[in-house]
Structure 1
Amino acid sequence: MKTIAALIPLTRKNSEHHFGISIISGSIKALELNLAELHPKELEIYSSYKHERRKMSYLLGRLSAKRAISELTHFNPFNAIFIDVAVFEFPVVKCLAIQNIQLSISHCNNIGLSIAFPESHPMGIDFEEINTNNRGVLKDQMTLEEIQLVEYLFSEEAKGYTLLWTAKEALSKIFRTGLMIDFKLLELDEIVKKGTVWESTFKYCGQYKAISYFSGTYVCSLVLPKYSSFNISELLKVFKFLD
């Protein structure tokens, strides 16, 4: 199993925060070498799964999440952390030694990506593989204004629609609704390229922004409060793991 993790400082006008981020990748056999990191309840849940795809997604989420938590809190051992699932499927950190920590988890193929952040500073993350066959499906979830943005900014529409999708899904994780919300309510109203990243804002959720990055065949979007800032180069060191 390959892994990368980092602790990234966040700056606001009157406060400072941090978030932990981790990306892991590996085959199911490589991931299962780390089963000792699972909490007893997690191991019981994992053992109940019959299909390899479900086992894979579970391990990618739990193993990457615990590394992100460790970056933020410096807490170990991993098997003392139980990452439970709430009624709307968002992750919940349960550990007596860790308080007021939240998670956002995403996985695709054999890669797991997680961020851990303080409850006082909401964030969300998502990444997807760019697939031209999904262009039509993603386009159907966009408003006319968003379609016009993509047509104006991107020569490859699949890349543009995937960027919008990841930004919207990351925002929906902050609201803890996931795919249950109409994604047109999470409309993006501006997308600006800034160096190697794209920064977006939301029409109806003006207090948030999205930072998106294309890495190989993937696009990853991090959503955070609009007036929070961090060193982009620190994040890109982690995202380049996807190349």
Structure 2
Amino acid sequence: MMKVKQKMIKKIYYQNIIIAIVQIFQYSPEITALNFKKYLTKSEENEFNALTSEIKKKSYVLGRYTAKQTISLLIRDKNLRDIEITKGILGQPVVHIKSKKNVEISISHERDVYASVAFLYEFPFGIDIERVTHKNLAVLIRCSSKEERLNVKYLEMTSIESLTLLWTTKEALSKILKTGLTLPFWFYEIKGCNFVANNHIVSSYKYFSQYISISFVIKDFICTFTCPHLKNIHIE
């Protein structure tokens, strides 16, 4: 039987208006791409059919389904085929909606866990989700500065969790900037971070003071979304 588990949903408010929704799904390993093909538009289906790898097909269709589910919550339209997601010139996802609403999407996945944030055009967001694993330890140390490692040392987290958190903050910011991780890692450096309400970790950026990142732990995953640094932001 096809199994889809919604692991988390968060609504982000600014001045009592929902500006973004974060949603995380976990899919059972036996799910195939064909289980979700019916949610694709004709253009998306053509792009799907052009893929030669079953792994890429599964990733494509689950990414689209996750993103459309999150967008549908934000715009309150349950028909997923009213939503089309194409690729921009830099490879970023571009949202097309029949209602013409100005909505954007950021998507990330790690194995069978997919995260997305749908947001109003005026409030840019980026998201990343990573599994916490010691296999990545050497890379995570190499891609973080000594100052950053000192900043996260006092969080109530294991060393590998805090290093993974630092990585996700960089990935999420790079999606807002539409650079990917193509720039030197100091460019995305974190200036400070601390726990706030509901076990969220808020981090500020050394060179991008207009943005903050908000992170949370879900079992052996860390998810981070980056957004504008707004005074009256509220998360439910």
TM-score by length of 1: 0.86
What SS does structure 1 have at the residue aligned with 2:164? Answer: helix
Q: Give the whole-Å Cα distance in 1 for the aligned partners of 2:185 and 2:156.
A: 20
Q: Give the whole-Å Cα distance in 1 for the aligned partners of 2:121 and 2:80.
A: 20
Partner of 2:39: 37
Partner of 1:87: 89
Cα offsets for 1:172-202 (capped at 9, x unmatched): 1111111223222011010112241211101
Q: 1:209 pairs with 208, 212, 221, which one? A: 212
Gapped runs of 5+ residues in structure 2? none
Q: Give the whole-Å Cα distance in 2 for the aligned partners of 1:79 and 1:105.
A: 18
Partner letter of residue 61 of structure 1?
A: G
Partner letter of residue 126 of structure 2?
A: G
Partner letter of residue 20 of structure 2?
A: F
Q: 1:156 pairs with 141, 144, 158, which one? A: 158
* TM-aligned CA deviation for residue 98 of structure 1: 2.9
Cα offsets for 1:142-180 (capped at 9, x unmatched): 122112224444663211111011111111111111122
Check the 8 A contact 1:56/1:110 in 2, yes or no: no
| Number of aligned residues | 231
Q: Give the whole-Å Cα distance in 2 for the aligned partners of 1:44 and 1:65.
A: 18
The more displaced of 162-171 and 42-51 is 42-51
Cα offsets for 1:22-66 (capped at 9, x unmatched): 222223535532211111111122222232321222122100100
Moved over 6 A (4+): none
Q: Give the whole-Å Cα distance in 2 for the aligned partners of 1:67 and 1:50.
A: 26
- Give the number of the structure whose residues are more often helix, by fraction: 1
Check the 8 A contact 2:68/2:83 in 1, yes or no: yes
Check the 8 A contact 1:23/1:111 in 2, yes or no: yes
Check the 8 A contact 2:116/2:127 in 1, yes or no: yes
TM-aligned CA distance change 1:32 to 1:117, over 3 Å: same
What SS does structure 2 have at the residue aligned with 1:165? Answer: helix
| Root mean square deviation of aligned Cα | 2.1
Check the 8 A contact 2:86/2:95 in 1, yes or no: yes
Check the 8 A contact 1:207/1:226 in 2, yes or no: yes
The more displaced of 77-86 and 29-38 is 29-38
Partner of 2:14: 11
* TM-aligned CA deviation for residue 228 of structure 1: 4.8
TM-aligned CA distance change 1:3 to 1:39, over 3 Å: farther
TM-aligned CA distance change 1:7 to 1:190, over 3 Å: closer
Q: Give the whole-Å Cα distance in 2 for the aligned partners of 1:126 and 1:65.
A: 13
Partner of 1:57: 59
Matched, 1:108 2:78: no
Partner of 1:240: none
Query: Percentage identity across aligned positions?
Result: 30
Partner letter of residue 169 of structure 1?
A: E
TM-aligned CA distance change 1:178 to 1:164, over 3 Å: same
TM-aligned CA distance change 1:167 to 1:155, over 3 Å: closer
1:197-236 → structure 2 map (5 Å cutoff): 197-232=200-235, 234=236
Check the 8 A contact 2:32/2:58 in 1, yes or no: no
Partner letter of residue 229 of structure 2?
A: K
TM-score by length of 2: 0.88
Matched, 1:168 2:170: yes
Partner of 1:187: 189
Gapped runs of 5+ residues in structure 1? 235-243
